[in-house]
Structure 1
């Protein structure tokens, strides 16, 4: 393996994008066939042994406004969000989102993958087919893991090295406040693709032996540097478009230096040939953009930017999906094990924590702040509380799928959000996100050649009332949890709804401690509910789980690729990343990106006659 400054003119396989799935595919294929020439092109920087990627504590640094490892996509203003825009950052470095994310280990429900096979007509993509890949990728270091987990894969999953007192309090309160969902032992595996409604500690993509992040580059790409000279990767380059011959077969890609990383470099475009396959793996924002700049997409989208249409494929860039989240912030006691001061870097707190990293592998620097949560599915009485719009959605989607949760709710032992709007002190955050929002949007290019041009992005958040009520319900329930936690010290007024003063729902700006456990729950008036909905529309945000924009489903249903990941209407071109899922998954999406990479590697190996990729 090498990182050549001057790459070859021709490879067997050219991969446009260097994120999670791309790295899995490149590693598996290069390892199986030392003669297969593979080039991986990535827009962002390399990550090798960079503490920003390897040390868990540093994950929020990638969301900074000046980050060079993520790219922010700003949406069009939305009436459903009170006229505001929303921003979705995406990984832009070798390893993609898996090298900068929160490291939260969550698997979907089995029915999510089964829907890919049955509802969207993709043979070979059901849960029975994908569970072997889930096992293959991981070494599960969490006690109590069942038969769906792996024991000798390249990526480690562990409880992490540090468990905060805030998370312990969260579990104690939720299990007492909601006893119907607290009847299983602490080591219950909630990531077996079927268990839901259990308050539990939450595993992480971290190696318990080293305390480091488990990402693909450090475990599957960089280790090949001395044994696989056939694998090349080039970072800091944008792929502009795919090249084709006269018979609509993909022949390679055109690329140029990323000006963010090479401000003084030449602005010329170069091409590289892929004689056996061109694979697009640039993520839910990048992959549809590459296809559209290559003339593959909807006629009106391409005409607006002056791209000549090669293939009429109106599904490109459509079907955008995400999980919608509210992060609800609270003041924490000074003695709590909150990471807020470290994330704020008060008096060099990050440097101090980093200096301790690795000494015992249980330091706070091995923490990602997320220790506990629940995949929550409502009881019948709670379904009624979620309103008539959601009731209709429940009947059509959830009622006959008992493994599908509606919300994830959990603890983050820090402040998630802008630290400049609140005083410097300790905080905790309770997060609530919808697992299958009805929201669908689109992602399209706005320029024929400029890869850095802003995206025409519409996320679709909250355009359905059925997406609003679960989150406002979650706000109210998490608030009851927070105010019973021993380390609760109040609610930052600027970060909560503007309830009228003197009412039961009014924000408590300062508290000496929690309310009595048997205190009555807050009753919200109709006006309070209106204020809460306005707050939710003003605050709902991305979970960084974008998917679906090159959906794997029949062409006549808006599909972009078939079950073998081939792009409709051309030959020699596949897409494999989080843009291909046709339907949402009830999980953080890193694990699904890994599975797509593993499955794609097998598909490609079978087509090329390569042995050893199973």
Structure 2
């Protein structure tokens, strides 16, 4: 019996049992499958809902390999609000994002240790971060990849007193560039990094693509008996000693809920039998809201960007400032200011014309949203509400307004005045003056959702997993992806999530 064909053209045979089944082939799933199968005595099966383009990098679609653009080729949904975008391909978000990698603040790491225990101490995370940096081939941005707009931004930020900082480590506010997993235009995604031809050749590793996880069957004592999959119009079962959900902040809670693991009252209303009552499943969704300040490029900036694009050198954003609002913890930051100049993310402009502006991103929002099921059907997209700017005290809106004020100060610099003009009605000052409900209608996102299967200590009634990702009330089930982070870091999430997956892979003894 088969689930379909692999990228290499071979039959993907349905296995009857493994030591570990990893459900979800995003960045965390790729790490886990690779690291866990390093033990030749442990059989591992990795399941991905989207395509696997195989071990030959040159066979992958050009738009997926291109580090200069943000592809939307392999996603779960199209024509939806931007906060719902999520990758559906082996390698996950690393195949569609901006290749940015920054590191959390010291308070972030302290909060995770409080939730996860001593295994999450900063020194341990740093050790696994170094492994992630090496495998993802992270590098500093070379000068030629910083656009004239980015250079003007960094000059203006230095004039305001910001000093250069290492964005790949803890520290404080400052200016700089992220580490990037981009090599001369090639997007070095997690599938390339962790599932190369040698790794795929291990006899104890199986990769099943184009197979969607419907649910887990839960037996007595919370022991998982099988994972039920849907592929090519047929249903299939996988059995394993240990099941690991790595389906992401939106996908992992949805699978748990369809399995009867979650808030019992909501499960009853959907006609699902509650097997483990865990009120935190799908709750605590937190993502970083963004306000975009558009600018009108002057002819000189358009010409410089066109010249860069003509030689294949026009990349997505390569510069940022991390800044602290009045609400920020000491020694940390709660804002990213990111300049962008290039083809628009959405829509089109005439040849030779480009979009320019600034994104103001609230990195440590107090607002919380949720992921809930609309039905028990795995093909029915879940209800995803990020809850942007809903915190009762209005702190998140206030932080964004402070960020808009910083943009206004940056724009006073001659380095930026020479390149672009404000857009009437959408200047930073005018945006900051809008009512919160109007501001909410303009929001985008940084695409770093976390928290829907949050980790916590035994006395945390809302926690879903412990510090090793073990799901409460179950005997052989873990979650190991961004969904277990109880708080969003003041950073991009890719490097932290790969680091966490590296850490959790070391905790498997079975």
In 2, Cα distance between equivalents of 1:489 and 1:226: 49
Match of 2:117 in 1: 122
In 2, Cα distance between equivalents of 1:461 and 1:72: 21
Alignment of 1:202-351 (within 5 A): 202-207=178-183, 210-224=184-198, 227-257=201-231, 265=232, 267-274=233-240, 276-336=241-301
Distance of aligned partners of 1:487 and 1:251 in 2 relative to their CA distance in 1, 3 Å threshold: farther
Number of residue pairs matched by the alignment: 492
Match of 1:201 in 2: 177
Counterpart of 1:52 in 2: which secondary structure?
helix
The CA deviation at 1:193 is 0.9
Match of 2:450 in 1: 547
Equivalent residue for 1:491, pick from 418, 422, 426: 422
Equivalent residue for 2:90, pick from 78, 91, 94: 94
In 1, Cα distance between equivalents of 2:276 and 2:435: 46
Match of 1:104 in 2: 100
2:48 matches 1:42: yes
Q: Which has the larger radius of gyration?
A: 1
The CA deviation at 1:424 is 7.4
The CA deviation at 1:68 is 3.0
Post-superposition CA distance 1:460-488 (Å, at most 9, x none): 11113111122122223314434641553
The CA deviation at 1:221 is 0.4
In 2, Cα distance between equivalents of 1:565 and 1:73: 33
Distance of aligned partners of 1:425 and 1:226 in 2 relative to their CA distance in 1, 3 Å threshold: closer
Which runs of 5 or more structure 2 residues have no equivalent in the other structure?
Answer: 1-5
Equivalent residue for 1:439, pick from 358, 367, 373: 367
2:335 matches 1:407: yes
2:140 matches 1:158: yes
CA RMSD between the two structures: 2.8
| 8 Å contact from structure 1 (residues 73, 88) kept in 2 | no
Post-superposition CA distance 1:366-385 (Å, at most 9, x none): x2x2121111014xxxx3xx
Counterpart of 2:252 in 1: which secondary structure?
helix
2:461 matches 1:557: yes
The CA deviation at 1:322 is 0.7
Match of 2:395 in 1: 466
In 2, Cα distance between equivalents of 1:341 and 1:299: 57
The CA deviation at 1:536 is 2.0
Counterpart of 2:395 in 1: which secondary structure?
helix
Which runs of 5 or more structure 1 residues have no equivalent in the other structure?
Answer: 75-84, 140-152, 258-264, 343-348, 357-362, 384-393, 498-506, 508-521, 609-614
Post-superposition CA distance 1:373-414 (Å, at most 9, x none): 111014xxxx3xxxxxxxxxx3xxx4xx42320201121222
The CA deviation at 1:247 is 3.8
In 2, Cα distance between equivalents of 1:219 and 1:338: 36
In 2, Cα distance between equivalents of 1:307 and 1:69: 28
Equivalent residue for 1:131, pick from 106, 126, 131: 126
